[in-house]
Amino acid sequence: MSIHHEGIEERHKIMTNDRTQSTQGTPANDFPTESFEDPAAAVTRLSAIYEANTAFLRDAFARYRRNEQFTHRVRACYPFVRVRSELNTQIDSRRSYGFVAGPGIYETTLTRPDLFGDYYREQLRLLTKNHHVGLEVGVSAQPIPIHFAFAEGIHLEGDLDRDRLLAMRNIFDTPDLALLDDRIVNGTYEPGPGEPHPLALFTAARVDFSLHRLRHYTATSPTHFQNYVLYTNYQFYIDEFVKLGRTMMSRADDEETRAYRSEYSSFVEPGDVVTYNANLGEQPEEGAPIARLPQMPAYHLKRADGSGITMVNIGVGPSNAKTITDHIAVLRPHAWIMLGHCAGLRNTQRLGDYVLAHGYVREDHVLDDDLPLWVPVPALAEVQVALERAVAQVTQLEGVELKRVMRTGTVASVDNRNWELRDHREPVRRLSQSRAVALDMESATIAANGFRFRVPYGTLLCVSDKPLHGELKLPGMADQFYRAQVDQHLQIGVKAMELLRMNGLSKLHSRKLRSFAEVAFQ
């Protein structure tokens, strides 16, 4: 049954000249707000709205490229979904998402149903199940920026001269920073009088912005990203992951090995180079290697259901760590873990020992304005247990012997790579007071952004130098260490992700990451 929305001004307008109006596809006023009981039907409807409106923009932009004249603005808007909850519903206290905080109207704009369709259906299914409410789907008042109407991006510079580029803003909507901030995520967003409460952490425009940035930074399409993400600060780990991914795609004669490899469908490298699993049938490779690696290249060991493993080389420093997690967060991964090298701070540690972080000293500073330093970043038991079990299984150690090679403790992350060159008395005192056992530049950022974005997180580092004890990271020492240790460390990270996947989402997503008035979407 259709219902026309009232109370929120002018959900959608397309203003254009007569020729545009007559040649375009379905106009927005043919999409009145409708109510659905079935989440799948609701997603089908929002998909129809999204596809019609983005097609409208793409067609108009094609004519703009051909230098056709426009006398009016061309606009199309994102679809929205809304629920109305009138009662305080009793929800299973063990749940961490899938319900609204209390009575009221809750709404969010949505994008890319081709990418997020399964995710939307599951989130809406939980809402209808927990609150017994209908789902309203319609056209929002939030314009779709012309850049975001193209899923894989458009390259305006090659097709338009300077004057046409400047004039484009008079015809089409372009990305608006006022719609891209993280106030919902940061808990600082307050709806105005009569405005709905947010239903999701991100608006559609914020999601689209990150999807386009992901391709830029990683040289792979967002469609390839998997639900379990490993971050590393060294190319050595990527080399081993590439070796692993290609091995997993090769045919195996042993039945057990073939069954394990067949869990993964393909391996994707920068440039969207796809190698398919030979154990699942022969398919030609896709894509072509790129001439130059991007800033933070990503590699994807894919499963058909998206629960495979993505690995990203974030390079050195907290700025990169924040940048990439800001964008990957919109994909709503099930977990991310930092695998990297660190400075061991205790005399009892040896090169090659592991550090399982259970706390962080946050001196990276890149998140101070988004997540104040007085906010604790707790260890998540589910991730900690998976990492410890993975170390035990890969090293074949247990009990006292396991404790000899892995220490649980606080990791300090700093933004000064040459912290050793300061008067050592001050940093040593601070590190000692914090009880830190390791120091790096990225782990606290990865964990803090996991906390901020409600993505389960963890850190397992490997001691590669001990600057406080005269064991510095020098080329000869480093090369020998890397050859001996990186392969095992990567195996541990992959095993930990597989253990988390086997444990299931109900155990992984934690109520510890929910605020007082949390959004319903995971």
Q: What is the CATH number of the domain that holds 154?
A: 3.30.1730.10
CA dist., res. 63 & res. 69, Å (int)? 8
pLDDT at 282: 83
Same domain, 385 and 242: yes
Domain for residue 518, yes or no?
Answer: no
User: 418 falls in which pLDDT band (50, 70, 90)?
Assistant: low
pLDDT at 15: 37
Domain for residue 4, yes or no?
Answer: no
Name residues whose C-beta falls within 8 Å of residue 501's C-beta, 6 or more positions apart in sequence: 227, 228, 307, 334
Of 123-127, 175-179, 256-260, the poorest mean pLDDT is in: 175-179
341 CB-side CA count, 13 A? 22
Same domain, 57 and 94: yes
Same domain, 148 and 233: no
For the residues 207-225, what does the mean pLDDT come to? Answer: 96
**Average of per-residue pLDDT values in the chain:** 87
For the residues 369-393, what does the mean pLDDT come to? Answer: 95
Percent of the chain beyond pLDDT 90?
A: 66
Domain for residue 434, yes or no?
Answer: yes
Phi, psi values for residue 44, rounded to 5°: -60, -40
Domain boundary among 160, 191, 213: 213
Domain for residue 385, yes or no?
Answer: yes
Same domain, 119 and 32: yes
Same domain, 43 and 98: yes
pLDDT at 247: 97
Domain for residue 340, yes or no?
Answer: yes
Same domain, 204 and 347: no
pLDDT at 158: 63
pLDDT at 431: 83
pLDDT at 311: 98
Answer with the residue of higher pLDDT: 10 or 464. 464
Same domain, 461 and 490: yes
Residue (of 55, 83, 68) closest to 19 by Cα position: 68
CA dist., res. 388 & res. 460, Å (int)? 9
Same domain, 84 and 148: yes
For the residues 23-44, what does the mean pLDDT come to? Answer: 79
Same domain, 254 and 164: no
Domain for residue 352, yes or no?
Answer: yes
Same domain, 285 and 420: yes
Q: Count of domains in the chain? A: 2
User: 430 falls in which pLDDT band (50, 70, 90)?
Assistant: confident
For the residues 437-463, what does the mean pLDDT come to? Answer: 96
For the residues 436-450, what does the mean pLDDT come to? Answer: 95
Instruction: Pick the most confident of 24-33, 108-117, 343-352.
Output: 108-117
Answer with the residue of higher pLDDT: 66 or 157. 66
CA dist., res. 323 & res. 444, Å (int)? 14
Asked if 304 and 276 touch (Cβ cutoff 8 Å), the reply is no
User: 22 falls in which pLDDT band (50, 70, 90)?
Assistant: very low
- 183: region left, alpha or beta (phi > 0 left; psi from -120 to 50 alpha): alpha
pLDDT tens across 181-198, in order?
Answer: 899 999 999 998 989 999
Looking at the predicted structure, is the pLDDT value of residue 470 above 90?
A: no
DSSP string, 319-379: HHHHHHHHHHGGG--SEEEEEEEEEE-STT--TT-EEEEEEEEEE--TTTTTS-TTS--PP
Looking at the predicted structure, is the pLDDT value of residue 157 above 70?
A: no
Looking at the predicted structure, is the pLDDT value of residue 479 above 90?
A: no
Question: Alpha carbon 513 to chain centroid distance?
Answer: 16
By residue count, the chain amounts to: 522
pLDDT at 23: 37
Q: Could you say which DSSP state residue 463 is in?
A: E
Looking at the predicted structure, is the pLDDT value of residue 347 above 60?
A: yes
For the residues 156-164, what does the mean pLDDT come to? Answer: 74
For the residues 333-341, what does the mean pLDDT come to? Answer: 96
Same domain, 392 and 481: yes
For the residues 382-395, what does the mean pLDDT come to? Answer: 96
Domain boundary among 213, 248, 270: 213
Enclosing domain of residue 124: 18-213
For the residues 121-132, what does the mean pLDDT come to? Answer: 91
Extract the runs of DSSP E, i.e. beta strands, from 194-306.
Answer: 197-198, 228-232, 266-269, 273-276, 298-302
Q: What angle do CA 512, 329, 492 make, to 5 degrees?
A: 75
Q: Could you say which DSSP state residue 24 is in?
A: S
Q: Which residue has the tokens 């300090």?
A: 412
Domain boundary among 147, 182, 213: 213
CATH number for the domain spanning 274: value is 3.40.50.1580
CA dist., res. 204 & res. 224, Å (int)? 20
pLDDT at 12: 37
User: 145 falls in which pLDDT band (50, 70, 90)?
Assistant: very high
pLDDT at 468: 54
Query: What global pTM score does this model have?
Result: 0.90
Phi, psi values for residue 462, rounded to 5°: -125, 130
Domain for residue 6, yes or no?
Answer: no
SS3 percent helix, strand, coil of the chain, rounded to 5, is: 40, 20, 40
Sort 284 into a burial class: Cβ within 10 Å, 0-12 / 13-18 / 19+: exposed
Name residues whose C-beta falls within 8 Å of residue 457's C-beta, 6 or more positions apart in sequence: 335, 336, 337, 338, 380, 383, 446, 447, 449, 450, 451
Looking at the predicted structure, is the pLDDT value of residue 401 above 90?
A: yes
Same domain, 197 and 240: no
Q: What angle do CA 188, 191, 193 make, to 5 degrees?
A: 145
